[in-house]
Structure formats: structure tokens, C-alpha cells
């Protein structure tokens, strides 16, 4: 039985993934599935650069606004919803296009990782929350030498979750399926560092003009705690375009570190997309 094709568009923030996904969806009769760990939340629109209905240009988008920002949305939950969305899109004769910059989400789906269903250990979490990411990384290193090799060492939430699972199971088991039912065609977008910096700075200025501070205040009024806002990436109490740009640049570097490990990705310079379009390359892969 032939495998169904799934196109994956990934890469650093501000490289134009959403725009390319829309164009490819139009070309190949596709529908887009978001792979962004913050765009799943309702109310986080400006701060996450969430695509608008107008920008979608009639292309159906999935897994946006599916979670309450007051509660953590797990990778296992994402994996389950994404697999369901892919099956539904294929069933209707269309091509699923996964688009986003959250490497863990993409790996959970494309690499067939079976995620352990370990319930939250609130006592352990409370004990770990006050520790620095460096200390948490060392704790995980002692518990599971494999997991530390592919985790974001600066992501406190994921470090705590990995420790939680390792304590419960002895290790974090990355179980890989031998025969996935889909053929994943992966396209990576990147920009040279100087261009990426300018693009991020311009985007952050626009976010502030569009009302980022009001969006954060609205989230707080709705009951989202300061602690939860920090977990969602809004860790600046007096944010400025400069401070947010610096944080975003650091995040972009971590994204690239994650994606560089995947040899299945075909990379394209986002500033040359008009001249070196990935469409022809995709067409060859779909044959």
C-alpha cells in the first residue's frame, strides 16, 4: 500500500513559513496544520505572529486556538490531534501540510515517537520550579543521558516534564515506529543571521504597534498568571521591542540547533524563495 504524502514546512521564526505553506497548499490542493507550541492557545495572536483569516486566503488551517492558555497543552495532545487532522485531510483527498517552528511537535509526528502518558507530579514540579535551567539540566543528565542530547536546555517546562517522566519510568523512552503510514517531505527555511536579525526586529516593532502589550494585559485579566505567562514566553514585565527581539533571536538559534539534527530536511534560503522555489523539488518528491 502506497504511503500518503505529507509536506512539512519548518524552520526559524520570521522566515516566512506560513506564507509559503499557503502557496504550496494552493498549488497541491492542501490544508495546513500548525506546528507551533504557542499558536495552539486562544488569545495569543499578536505575540505569536498567528496567521489571520485574511492571510489564510481561503486555505483551511488546523490546530490553531485549540487550547486554554491557563493550562499546559502537552506534546502528546498535539501528536494525537495532528495525526487525527492528517487522517481527515487525506480521507478528503487533500494533502496535509504541517507548518511551524516547534521541533518537538514535528518530531513527535514525523518520527513516530510514542510519548509516555505519565500524569503530572505536582509535588515534584513545585520542588523543581525554583531551580535554574542549568540545575535542571544536570538533574536530567543524571537520570537520562539519552534525553539530554535532544532537549532544549533553556526550556524550563520541558526540562521539568522530562525529569518527571524519567523519575516515573526510569528514563524518557523515545520509541520509533518502523513503518509510518505517511511519507514526510520536509522543507526547511532559513535566513542569513544579519537578515534574520533585521526581519525579527521589524516584526517585533510591528507587534508592539499592533497592540502586544494590550494582548498581554488581556491575558492577565482573563486569569492567566504571571508564572503561566513566563512559561508561554512572555517573561518580560516591561517589554520593549529590543528586549523581545533579543529573546526571539535566542529562540531562533535554539530552533536551528534542533532542526540541524534532521538530515531529511531540504533547506532553502527564505530570501531566495522567489528565485529558487521549492515547488519543483516537492513535485519530484511526490512522484
Q: For residues 269 and 225, what is the distance between their CA atoms, to the nearest angstrom?
A: 39
Binning pLDDT at 50, 70 and 90, where does residue 6 land?
very high
Residues 133 and 256 in one domain: no
Residues 27 and 165 in one domain: no
Q: Give me the chain's average pLDDT, please.
A: 89
Residues 193 and 253 in one domain: yes
Distance of CA 143 to the CA centre of its chain: 26
- State the pTM of this model: 0.83
Residues 188 and 73 in one domain: yes
Binning pLDDT at 50, 70 and 90, where does residue 178 land?
very low
Mention every residue, 6+ apart, whose C-beta is less than 8 A from residue 172.
Answer: 116, 144, 146, 147, 162, 165, 166
pLDDT at residue number 229: 86
Mean pLDDT for 101-106 is 94
Residues 186 and 217 in one domain: yes
Residues 152 and 266 in one domain: no
Residues 135 and 20 in one domain: no
pLDDT digits (tens, 9 = 90+) for 9-24: 999 999 999 999 999 9
pLDDT digits (tens, 9 = 90+) for 62-71: 999 999 999 9
11 within 8 A of 190, measured Cβ to Cβ: yes
Q: Starting from the edge strand earliest in sequence, which strands make up the sheet with 95-100, in order?
A: 61-62, 30-34, 95-100, 4-11, 182-190, 266-269
pLDDT digits (tens, 9 = 90+) for 155-164: 888 899 889 9
Residues 9 and 30 in one domain: yes
pLDDT at residue number 1: 64
Q: How far from 9 is each of 99, 101, 118, 124, 133, CA to CA, in Å?
A: 5, 8, 30, 37, 30
Residues 15 and 100 in one domain: yes
Residues 30 and 162 in one domain: no
Provide the residue range defining the domain that includes 158.
122-169
Q: Report the CATH number at residue 189.
A: 3.40.50.300
- C-beta atoms surrounding 53 within 10 Å: 8
Residues 152 and 203 in one domain: no
How many folded domains does the chain comprise? 2
pLDDT at residue number 173: 57
- Give the residue among 208, 187, 229, 205 at the shortest CA–CA distance from 99: 187
SS3 string, the chain, reads: CCCEEEEEEEECCCCCHHHHHHHHHHHCCEEEEECCCCCCECCCCCCCCCCCHHHHCCCCEECCCCECCCCCCCHHHHHHHHHHHHHHHHHCCCEEEEEECCHHHHHHHHCCCECCCCCCCHHHHHHHCCCCHHHHHHHHHHHCCCHHHHCCCCCHHHHHHHHHHHHHHCCCCCECCCCCCEEEEEEEEECCHHHHHHHHHHHHHHHHHHCHHHHHHHHHHCCCCHHHHHHCCCCCCCCCHHHHHHHHHHHHHHHHHHHCCCCCCEEEEHHHCCCCCCHHHHHHHHC
Range of weakest confidence among 35-44, 111-120, 124-133: 111-120
Among 135, 169, 203, the domain-final residue is: 169
Q: For residues 165 and 115, what is the distance between their CA atoms, to the nearest angstrom?
A: 10
Residues 161 and 278 in one domain: no
Position 176 pLDDT exceeds 60: no
Mean pLDDT for 167-190 is 76
Amino acid at each position: 500500500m502506497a504511503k500518503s504524502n505529507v509536506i512539512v514546512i519548518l524552520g526559524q521564526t520570521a522566515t516566512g513559513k506560513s506564507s509559503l505553506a499557503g502557496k504550496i497548499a494552493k498549488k497541491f490542493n492542501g490544508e495546513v496544520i500548525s506546528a507551533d507550541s504557542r499558536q495552539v492557545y486562544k488569545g495569543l495572536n499578536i505575540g505569536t505572529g498567528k496567521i489571520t483569516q485574511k492571510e489564510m486566503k481561503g486555505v483551511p488551517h488546523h490546530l490553531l486556538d485549540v487550547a486554554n492558555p491557563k493550562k499546559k497543552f502537552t506534546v502528546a495532545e498535539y501528536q494525537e490531534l495532528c495525526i487525527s487532522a492528517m487522517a481527515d485531510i487525506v480521507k478528503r483527498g487533500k494533502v496535509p501540510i504541517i507548518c511551524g517552528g516547534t521541533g518537538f511537535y514535528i518530531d513527535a509526528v514525523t518520527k513516530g515517537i510514542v510519548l509516555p502518558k505519565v500524569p503530572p507530579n505536582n509535588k515534584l514540579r513545585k520542588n523543581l520550579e525554583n531551580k535554574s535551567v542549568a540545575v535542571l539540566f544536570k538533574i536530567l543528565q543524571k537520570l537520562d543521558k539519552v534525553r539530554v542530547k535532544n532537549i532544549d536546555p533553556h526550556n524550563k517546562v520541558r526540562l521539568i516534564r522530562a525529569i518527571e517522566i524519567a523519575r516515573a519510568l526510569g528514563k524518557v523512552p523515545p520509541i520509533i515506529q518502523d513503518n509510518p503510514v505517511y511519507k514526510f517531505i520536509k522543507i526547511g527555511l532559513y535566513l542569513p543571521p544579519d537578515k534574520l536579525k533585521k526581519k525579527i526586529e521589524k516584526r517585533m516593532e510591528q507587534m508592539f504597534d499592533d497592540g502586544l502589550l494590550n494582548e498581554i494585559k488581556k491575558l492577565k485579566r482573563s486569569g492567566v498568571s504571571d508564572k503561566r505567562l513566563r512559561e508561554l514566553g512572555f517573561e518580560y514585565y516591561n517589554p520593549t521591542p529590543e528586549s523581545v527581539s533579543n529573546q526571539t533571536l535566542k529562540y531562533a538559534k535554539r530552533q536551528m540547533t534542533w532542526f540541524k539534527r534532521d538530515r531529511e530536511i531540504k533547506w532553502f534560503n527564505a530570501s531566495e524563495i522567489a528565485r529558487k522555489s521549492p515547488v519543483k523539488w516537492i513535485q519530484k518528491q511526490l512522484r
